[in-house]
């Protein structure tokens, strides 16, 4: 294990269940990598710790090797060995933890959805902290994400800080309050936490029952900084409906809680250098965009008769949060309005997957609709590049990245005004918004009528005047959704927290 500490900036360790592109399920993976790269560019020493999954894309890791030390970590009354791998992912130093536990925690062929997820990730959280501790690192910030690594916050303060490993402040980011990591209280003991001490209403006790604990609640209580992924969502989760039972905890800890809009990784998502797409293009030269549209239509066996027929894209996990009934409606509405629709989506929910398989079969030989029910990163780039419009009718959306990626590729978003969509998409017809910010079509009510009317306005705008449409495409492509300003906000939070800690250590 190597000791770092020569960087003039902060030493920041991210502990997470995902990082793009090696281990990505959704936005969390994008955010961890994008934020870390931006922080590194600002001169900070950034390191990442993730599990070594059997299903991750190891070929995207440079110089992957096993360290010749074994880190032992506690679980269920015993010590277990962990093999530690290190490698570089897009310039970022990453540690991969491979537990030698008989339950083979990360050798399951999938990232999530196992019966023992709570155990797997509580083990990982403990092992990750143990790695940082045993390596003798003295980070200024340990940043954990979502319930899977929320254990880090109470573990750090209750177990590690008392051993003198207390250089760090803890930052916790909740990417989605829908997933809170609840379990019978007794399960918390496995990673070494004290159940009696933590199973209290003001600490980790879940609101649903006296004998259940809630890991996200624990991280809110035990972290120095708590963030979520957009200002609007930060407001929404303070309400009873949005907070999913954590609204009171968030209100109590309001002084350390803030919403920061995610950015996108503008290297990964760059139409002028993207090697996944057929022809590269940029806002000043949109010919390549038309070529990509043509290529995707041919590849998917869609009609290419009318080059100007608008193509509507949708790339999403198919889960209730994303408004699946509205996505289905958007397919039919697109056909009615004379467009083409391409959906790339996969669902962990069997009844939704089945429903969309039915729709896919129904449209199998239709020249204007294609549903691809899988996860496919390369294909996602092609669809962003090929589409003219992009639909995101979410019921709730903590931040949402697809609207920002779509805009970067010149696809104009049609979104429901919720969470981060409300902070990044502003309606073309909204006179209360300065013209330079208007970049899409929005609707408020989560119903078919509201979506239909936004789609009608979008199609009308598209069909009316190609030159005005082209100006809109160029405008959305030039908008800045990079991590620069969001990473600066995280940097400020980190620095304030570190300064407070140093001041109180001196006092
Ligand atoms: P969430 O994190 O809720 O899934 P986000 O909008 O924050 O939603 O992030 C979604 C990310 O996952 C984007 O990068 C999007 O391109 C990608 N994505 C979603 N579904 C698929 C899919 N079926 N195939 C490829 N990429 C997908």
So what's the pLDDT on residue 223? 98
Beta bridge partners of 143: 14, 171
Instruction: Output the CA torsion 30→34→37→42 (10° steps).
Output: -160
So what's the pLDDT on residue 26? 86
Residue 198: Cβ within 10 Å count: 20
Ligand 1 pocket test: which of 17, 27, 385, 415 has the largest number of ligand atoms within 8 Å of its C-beta?
27
Residue 223 burial (CB < 10 Å; 0-12/13-18/19+)?
buried
> Is residue 3 situated within a structural domain?
no
- Say yes or no to pLDDT of 4 above 60: no
CA distance 502 to 507: 9
Cβ–Cβ < 8 Å for 262, 31: yes
So what's the pLDDT on residue 7? 56
CA of 450 to the centre of ligand 1 (A): 24
- Please tell me the total number of residues recorded for the chain in this structure: 507
Same domain, 416 and 336: yes
Which pair of structure tokens corresponds to residue 377?
């990163």
Residue 16: Cβ within 10 Å count: 27
So what's the pLDDT on residue 104? 98
Same domain, 489 and 472: no
% of the chain beyond a pLDDT of 70: 99
- Which residue range is the domain that position 177 belongs to? 11-263+485-506
Same domain, 382 and 473: yes
Q: What is the rounded average pLDDT for all residues in the chain?
A: 96
Give the full edge-to-edge strand order of the sheet including 369-372.
369-372, 340-346, 311-317, 389-392, 412-416, 441-443
Same domain, 256 and 165: yes
Per-residue model confidence as pLDDT tens digits over 368-402? 999 999 999 999 999 999 999 999 999 999 999 99
Atom of ligand 1 nearest to the CA of 25: 12
Cβ–Cβ < 8 Å for 105, 119: yes
So what's the pLDDT on residue 6? 53
> Is residue 330 situated within a structural domain?
yes
CA distance 97 to 51: 5
Nearest CA to ligand 1 atom 12: 26
CA distance 386 to 333: 19
Per-residue model confidence as pLDDT tens digits over 51-66? 999 999 999 999 999 9
Atom of ligand 1 nearest to the CA of 176: 3
Buried b (16+ CB within 10 A) or exposed e, 433-445: eeeeebbbbbbee
C-alpha angle 74-86-149 in degrees, rounded to nearest 5 = 45
Atom of ligand 1 nearest to the CA of 321: 3
Cβ–Cβ < 8 Å for 111, 17: yes
CA of 212 to the centre of ligand 1 (A): 31
Cβ–Cβ < 8 Å for 11, 138: yes
> Is residue 320 situated within a structural domain?
yes
Residue 226 DSSP SS3: strand
Which pair of structure tokens corresponds to residue 307?
């080059």
So what's the pLDDT on residue 505? 83
Per-residue model confidence as pLDDT tens digits over 328-371? 999 999 999 999 999 999 999 999 999 999 999 999 999 999 99
pLDDT band (50, 70, 90) for residue 1: low
So what's the pLDDT on residue 421? 98
Same domain, 437 and 496: no
Ligand 1 pocket test: which of 175, 317, 383 has the largest number of ligand atoms within 8 Å of its C-beta?
317
Domain CATH number, residue 295:
3.40.50.2000
Per-residue model confidence as pLDDT tens digits over 219-255? 999 999 999 999 999 999 999 999 999 999 999 999 9
Same domain, 255 and 354: no
CA of 64 to the centre of ligand 1 (A): 26
Which pair of structure tokens corresponds to residue 420?
């981060």
pTM for this entry: 0.95
For residue 413, how far is the Cα from the chain centroid? 18
Give the pocket of ligand 1 (CB within 6 Å): 26-27, 30, 315-317, 344-346, 375-377, 380, 399-402, 405
Name the domain count of the chain: 2
CA Rg value for the chain? 23
CA of 379 to the centre of ligand 1 (A): 12
Same domain, 328 and 442: yes
Cβ–Cβ < 8 Å for 129, 166: no
Cβ–Cβ < 8 Å for 477, 282: yes
> Is residue 5 situated within a structural domain?
no
So what's the pLDDT on residue 506? 84
Q: What is the DSSP-derived secondary structure letter of residue 61?
A: S
> Is residue 271 situated within a structural domain?
no
Same domain, 364 and 431: yes
Nearest CA to ligand 1 atom 18: 316
Same domain, 159 and 85: yes
Same domain, 477 and 492: no
Do the strands 92-99 and 45-51 form a parallel or antiparallel pair, or are they unpaired? Answer: parallel
Which pair of structure tokens corresponds to residue 14?
């991210």
Per-residue model confidence as pLDDT tens digits over 195-223? 999 999 999 999 999 999 999 999 999 99
Residue 272: Cβ within 10 Å count: 13
CA distance 303 to 33: 38
Beta carbons within 8 Å of 58's beta carbon, 6+ residues apart: 22, 64
Per-residue model confidence as pLDDT tens digits over 123-174? 999 999 999 999 999 999 999 999 999 999 999 999 999 999 999 999 999 9
Cβ–Cβ < 8 Å for 218, 230: no
> Across residues 461-478, what is the average pLDDT?
97
Cβ–Cβ < 8 Å for 24, 30: yes
So what's the pLDDT on residue 280? 98
So what's the pLDDT on residue 3? 45
- Say yes or no to pLDDT of 5 above 90: no
- Say yes or no to pLDDT of 451 above 80: yes
Nearest CA among 140, 169, 148 for reference residue 157: 169
> Is residue 279 situated within a structural domain?
no
Same domain, 490 and 476: no
For residue 489, how far is the Cα from the chain centroid? 18
Q: Omega of the bond prior to 290 within 30 degrees of 0, cis?
A: no
CA distance 204 to 221: 8
């Amino acid at each position: 294990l190597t000791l770092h500490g020569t960087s003039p900036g902060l030493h920041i360790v991210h502990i997470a269940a995902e990082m793009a592109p090696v281990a990505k399920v959704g936005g969390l993976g994008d955010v961890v990598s994008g934020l870390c790269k931006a922080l590194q560019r600002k001169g900070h020493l950034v390191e990442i710790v993730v599990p070594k999954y059997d299903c991750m894309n190891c070929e995207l890791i440079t110089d992957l090797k096993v360290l010749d030390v074994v880190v032992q970590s506690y679980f269920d009354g015993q010590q277990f060995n962990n093999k530690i791998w290190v490698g570089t992912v897009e310039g970022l130093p990453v540690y991969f933890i491979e537990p030698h536990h008989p339950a083979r925690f990360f050798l399951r062929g999938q990232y999530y959805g196992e019966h023992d997820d709570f155990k797997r990730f509580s083990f990982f959280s403990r092992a990750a902290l143990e790695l940082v501790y045993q390596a003798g690192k003295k980070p200024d910030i340990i940043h954990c994400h979502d319930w899977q690594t929320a254990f880090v916050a109470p573990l750090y303060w209750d177990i590690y800080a008392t051993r003198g490993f207390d250089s760090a402040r803890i930052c916790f980011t909740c990417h989605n309050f829908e997933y809170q990591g609840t379990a019978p209280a007794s399960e918390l003991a496995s990673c070494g936490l004290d159940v009696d001490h933590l199973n209290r209403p003001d600490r980790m006790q879940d609101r649903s029952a006296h004998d259940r604990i809630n890991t996200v609640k624990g991280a809110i209580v035990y972290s120095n900084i708590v963030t979520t992924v957009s200002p609007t969502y930060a407001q929404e989760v303070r309400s009873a409906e949005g907070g999913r039972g954590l609204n009171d905890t968030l209100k109590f800890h309001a002084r350390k809680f803030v919403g920061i809009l995610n950015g996108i990784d503008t290297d990964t998502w760059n139409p002028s250098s993207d090697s996944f797409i057929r022809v590269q293009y940029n806002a000043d030269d949109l010919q390549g965009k038309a070529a990509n549209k043509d290529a995707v239509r041919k590849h998917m066996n869609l009609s290419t008769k009318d080059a100007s027929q608008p193509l509507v894209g949708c790339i999403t996990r198919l889960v209730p949060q994303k408004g699946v009934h509205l996505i289905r409606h958007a397919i039919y509405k697109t056909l009615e309005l004379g467009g083409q629709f391409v959906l790339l989506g996969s669902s962990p929910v069997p009844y939704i997957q089945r429903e969309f398989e039915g729709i896919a079969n129904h449209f199998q030989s239709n020249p204007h609709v294609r549903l691809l029910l899988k996860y496919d990163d390369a294909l996602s780039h092609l669809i962003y590049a090929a589409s003219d419009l992009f639909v995101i009718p979410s019921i709730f959306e903590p931040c949402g990245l697809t609207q920002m990626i779509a805009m970067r590729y010149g696809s104009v978003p049609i979104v429901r005004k919720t969470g981060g969509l409300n902070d990044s998409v502003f309606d073309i017809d909204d006179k209360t918004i300065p013209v330079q910010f208007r970049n899409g079509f929005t609707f408020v009510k989560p119903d078919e009528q509201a979506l239909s009317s936004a789609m009608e306005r979008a199609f009308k705008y598209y069909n009316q005047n190609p030159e005005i449409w082209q100006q809109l495409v160029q405008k959305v492509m030039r908008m800045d959704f990079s991590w620069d300003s969001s990473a600066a906000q995280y940097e400020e939070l980190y620095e304030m927290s570190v300064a407070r800690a140093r001041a109180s250590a001196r006092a």
